[in-house]
Structure 1
Amino acid sequence: MTTEAETPRLTMSGIVKRFPGTVASDGAELSVRAGEVHCLLGENGAGKSTLMKILAGSYQPDAGEIRLDGEPVVLNSPQAGLAAGIAVIYQELDLIPDLSVAQNLLLGHAPAVGPVVRKKKRLELARAAVARVGGDFPVTATVRDLPIAAQQLTAIARALTADARVIVMDEPSATLGENDLLKVFEVIRSLAAEGRSIIYISHRMDEVMEIGDRATVLRDGRTVGVYDIADTDPGELVSAMIGESRELVRTTQRPRPEGEPLLEIRSVRIPGVIDIAGIDVRPGEVAGLAGLGGAGRTTLLRALFGDTRAARTVRLGGAPLRASSPAAAVRAGLALVPESRKEQGLMLGLSVARNAAVTALGRPPWLLPGRTGRVRTAPVLKDLGVRFASPDQPVGKLSGGNQQKVVLAKWITRGGVRVLLLDEPTRGLDVGAKADLYRQVRELADSGVAVLLASSELNELTANADTIWVLHEGRNVARFDPRNTSENTIAHTVITGVTP
């Protein structure tokens, strides 16, 4: 790491960016040294994404200056950002799904002789980049066919194919299992050791404390503090982010749900993928699904929702559940908040109000009357704390966390939900947004909804779930009561598949 007297690798000074109805960046400051991992923290809407898009050249600031190695630069396009040595790995991956891994990794700078791409050389370079991030998938695979975790590793590997001085990683661990995350941390440390600067955006304090050297905290578009992580308590960072002391999650004190199960998963089986049996969820119960990446949590939820073919014996309210399609599942009273909100949960070009109203009003979203959608969804969006300039704003313009809230809002607005399936619902959400979301989930459970919650954040499951099922290699191997079981015991079972 450089000394204090040396010129920073990157400085962003007095950065201002206005959008209609809001100031996204209000004089923000950021200084990053060569060879350091610098964490950028803040709630959704604090200005992190805007600041990084300005750094990438996607947005142009209304005021302020950017310097690289002491020299002022003008980054007026993404191409200018890349040429300056800035690589950004966005939380919502911007890979081209119908191209291969190798094509994605070297898109725009593939080895070529004149106009002819040297395909063997491209494969060679791609394999080296994937191996560096610990990937074990073929570079000839089509990106669409890869698991989300492998797609995340592909995006990280792509940044390594460019000779970047500054690498921005926006929630790189959001879709990664523990082993994949350890590999990514090794890559980050090796890049920093080479003198590259890493800007690491995360809402997971354990990651920040482990990987970061310093942290800059943004709030309401302004820089409110810069911290040496080794000398800082995580609680101090959280307080700086939200401006007050506030718990991430609170263990519910409501009585434990009893009575007959509402959802009975007697058997859900896909040969060689999952074989799950004996999971029951009562009205008002929040049942957690814990497991490593690939354990089968997402597959189970999608099978229940009719989005994945499986041999199923499932009962809902004492009667067989015959949800052979998502539409049938919705009619039966099931609702799914999917892991990939952009591909499965939202119509990004349509407004916030139309997305939130689409399931409630039962018409194609482009035919929904604007005023009806706004009126119907306004109280739900407010209660969830969704931040937007206008209900007519395209939902694709919102931050990732606010987009996730809109996915939940469309089911709350509709009503009639009997079973809520949540797949990594807090992925990419800040501490305040997580607290808001879990408060809303508990209110839905209190109203009699059965909740099946899949999350890789074990501390969130132990704080919010009434019971936790552990899935391991496609099977449910254990059930725990988080009120009287230590988190370490559950974590051991998640990793090994065996109860200690």
Structure 2
Amino acid sequence: MSGDPAQPRLHMSGIVKRFPGTLACDATELSVRPGEVHCLLGENGAGKSTLMKILAGSYQPDGGEIRLDGQPVTLTSPQAGIAAGIAVIYQELDLIPDLTVAQNLLLGHAPATGPFVRKRRRLELARAAVDRVGGEFPLTAAVRDLPIADQQLTAIAKALTGDARIIVMDEPSATLGENDLAKVFEVIRSLAAEGRSIVYISHRMDEVMEIGDRATVLRDGGTVGVYDIAETGPERLVAAMIGESRELVRPVEGAPPEGEPLLEIDSVRVPGLIDIAGIEVRPGEIVGLAGLGGAGRTTLLKTLFGVSGGAVSARLGGTPLRVRTPAAAVKAGLALVPESRKEQGLMLGLSVGRNTAVTALGRPPWLAPRRLGRRLGAPVLADLGVKCATPDQPVGELSGGNQQKVVLAKWVTRGGVRVLLLDEPTRGLDVGAKADLYRQVRRLADDGVAVLLASSELTELTANADRIWVLHEGRNVACFDPRTAAENTIAHTVITGVTP
């Protein structure tokens, strides 16, 4: 693949992207050369995903310019991105599980005569792409039946069938073993040798040092530096990611709760995902869970709540905790505010009142009288400061902050909550809504509830948690007191898994 090495294959300059209450990209810069493996680094929330979605055409920037091989382009849709030679391989692979490998590879551009797909030609093109990435799996196999490593190779091969000149790989190692990753690295090197440009996103410094040529570091939506990896140590990259000037975190008010733990997690194991042990939460205590994407925070909370299967050895109030289903977890006094409030926490077509009272009604909410939902939920909605026109308003019409309050309200309405599990409770909320939510969580803790809080926002954890456990690659590796620990020390541990 041709390309002038003196001219960037990709140049994104002054990229600005705003969301309500958030400046996700703040004049962000990214320049990638032909034949280069360019690592894109940054903490959670630094702006990496937003920048790549702009490159893919999924988001439209509010400002800035994108040039490909020196020519300005406007990418108005994912189809426009693909047509421009840009392929993004997301961590959750963009493959259709029930289709075959060949069908996935040529989906949308299969060779055809009139309305009929030329299946033999499709197999020939698919075989060439799969051979190119070293795949040895059958083209007629359904993608869901392939090992995850072969699914990853299928996603790379799919990018080649579209003749991609820029290939973005988002955390490709998250689901790969060491041998499988070595095979993917071989493919990446050969693609770069052809002149293709690879943007490699990873939090793992050992991978970055092995595969990368240069690295761009983002922090708080902006570009803080571009580094030649051969001349830069991992410690310098980590320092750029977290900021070397962070001060000691502001301590939470009051002394940490004392006494016997309410929730004692001896061990929670899900093969291949998490192996966590020794976490305790006292009544009135907020224990934070920090970690990168894929570190295991969500899996831990879902397993404790009976959503995901796993081996759990835990005690609640000294009694063995046995929860194989969410219903059993609720009966035991656990409550979960899930990461995706719209998909897992609310019934968007039903009213605010009925959503608030859903856990207390003891029947499907659409079968309960509307006035009953209003009566049960009204006091809690008022106490939590939920802003709605009327309790009969569909919950889907509320702002994100008010929707999240309704998710919390349904557990308060039911009563009997002993342990509150919060998974990214402030995602997508503005600053004011975040403050309101954390005030309500602290009030519940003050009433004796034990809170386990997972968040990608380390600043929020240090401001609101009594203790912070760091999870790294499925294990809890260190516990910090935010009253005394420096935030950059915690951030360093989040990224590397090692306390400096």
Conserved in 2, the CA contact under 8 Å of 1:217 and 1:226?
Answer: yes
Conserved in 2, the CA contact under 8 Å of 1:101 and 1:142?
Answer: yes
What is the CA distance between 1:164 and its match in structure 2?
1.7
Secondary structure in 2 matching 1:213: strand
Partner of 1:307: 307
CA distance in 1, matches of 2:8, 2:308: 50
User: Which residues of 2 match residues 90-489 of structure 1 at below 5 A?
Assistant: 90=90, 93-99=93-99, 103-109=103-109, 114-116=117-119, 118=122, 122=126, 125-126=129-130, 129=133, 140=141, 142-143=143-144, 155=155, 158-159=158-159, 161-169=161-169, 171-172=170-171, 175-176=174-175, 179=178, 183=182, 191-200=191-200, 204=203, 206=205, 210=209, 211=212, 212-215=214-217, 219=221, 224-225=222-223, 227-230=225-228, 234-239=238-243, 246=246, 258-263=258-263, 281-284=281-284, 301-308=301-308, 315-318=315-318, 321=321, 323-336=323-336, 341=340, 345=344, 376=381, 392=397, 410-411=407-408, 414-415=411-412, 417-421=417-421, 443=442, 448-451=448-451
What is the CA distance between 1:281 and its match in structure 2?
5.0
Conserved in 2, the CA contact under 8 Å of 1:40 and 1:199?
Answer: no
Question: Aligned in 2, Cα 1:190/1:109: closer, same or farther, shift over 3 Å?
Answer: same
Conserved in 1, the CA contact under 8 Å of 2:81 and 2:87?
Answer: yes
Secondary structure in 2 matching 1:75: coil
CA distance in 1, matches of 2:283, 2:43: 36
Moved more, 210-219 or 263-272: 263-272
Q: Deviations over 1:445-498 (max 9, x none)?
A: 67644456789999x99997969799999xx9x998768xx99xx99xx99xxx
CA RMSD of aligned residues (A): 6.9
CA distance in 2, matches of 1:314, 1:53: 41
Conserved in 2, the CA contact under 8 Å of 1:42 and 1:48?
Answer: no
Task: Give the letter for the 1:10 counterpart.
Answer: L
Q: Deviations over 1:289-341 (max 9, x none)?
A: 999999998776545323346787765335565645323423433234667x4
Secondary structure in 1 matching 2:87: strand
Question: Aligned in 2, Cα 1:140/1:11: closer, same or farther, shift over 3 Å?
Answer: same
What is the CA distance between 1:116 and its match in structure 2?
2.1
Conserved in 2, the CA contact under 8 Å of 1:305 and 1:335?
Answer: yes
Question: Aligned in 2, Cα 1:407/1:65: closer, same or farther, shift over 3 Å?
Answer: same
Question: Aligned in 2, Cα 1:471/1:101: closer, same or farther, shift over 3 Å?
Answer: farther
Task: Give the letter for the 1:214 counterpart.
Answer: T
**Structure 1: gaps spanning 5 or more residues:** 383-389, 396-401, 496-500
CA distance in 1, matches of 2:365, 2:451: 27
CA distance in 2, matches of 1:271, 1:85: 38
Question: Aligned in 2, Cα 1:457/1:67: closer, same or farther, shift over 3 Å?
Answer: closer
Q: Deviations over 1:419-448 (max 9, x none)?
A: 24467x59999xx9xx99998899576764
- Given the two structures, how large is their TM-score scaled by the length of structure 1? 0.57
Task: Give the letter for the 1:87 counterpart.
Answer: A
What is the CA distance between 1:345 and its match in structure 2?
3.7
CA distance in 2, matches of 1:151, 1:354: 44
What is the CA distance between 1:52 and its match in structure 2?
3.6
CA distance in 2, matches of 1:29, 1:273: 34
CA distance in 2, matches of 1:289, 1:25: 23
CA distance in 1, matches of 2:467, 2:81: 48
CA distance in 2, matches of 1:271, 1:46: 31
Partner of 2:485: none
Question: Aligned in 2, Cα 1:461/1:237: closer, same or farther, shift over 3 Å?
Answer: closer
Conserved in 1, the CA contact under 8 Å of 2:335 and 2:411?
Answer: no
- Given the two structures, how large is their TM-score scaled by the length of structure 2? 0.57
Conserved in 2, the CA contact under 8 Å of 1:15 and 1:25?
Answer: no
Conserved in 2, the CA contact under 8 Å of 1:357 and 1:377?
Answer: no
Secondary structure in 1 matching 2:163: coil
Q: Deviations over 1:201-242 (max 9, x none)?
A: 56x5958974443346674xxxx54522357665455459xx
Question: Aligned in 2, Cα 1:193/1:451: closer, same or farther, shift over 3 Å?
Answer: farther
What is the CA distance between 1:85 and its match in structure 2?
0.8
What is the CA distance between 1:364 and its match in structure 2?
5.6
Partner of 2:40: 39
Conserved in 2, the CA contact under 8 Å of 1:357 and 1:410?
Answer: yes
CA distance in 2, matches of 1:381, 1:200: 42
Q: Deviations over 1:35-57 (max 9, x none)?
A: 441527587496962x5444323
Secondary structure in 1 matching 2:307: coil
CA distance in 2, matches of 1:115, 1:461: 56
CA distance in 2, matches of 1:189, 1:377: 59
**Structure 2: gaps spanning 5 or more residues:** 388-394, 482-488
What is the CA distance between 1:199 and its match in structure 2?
3.7
CA distance in 2, matches of 1:164, 1:58: 17
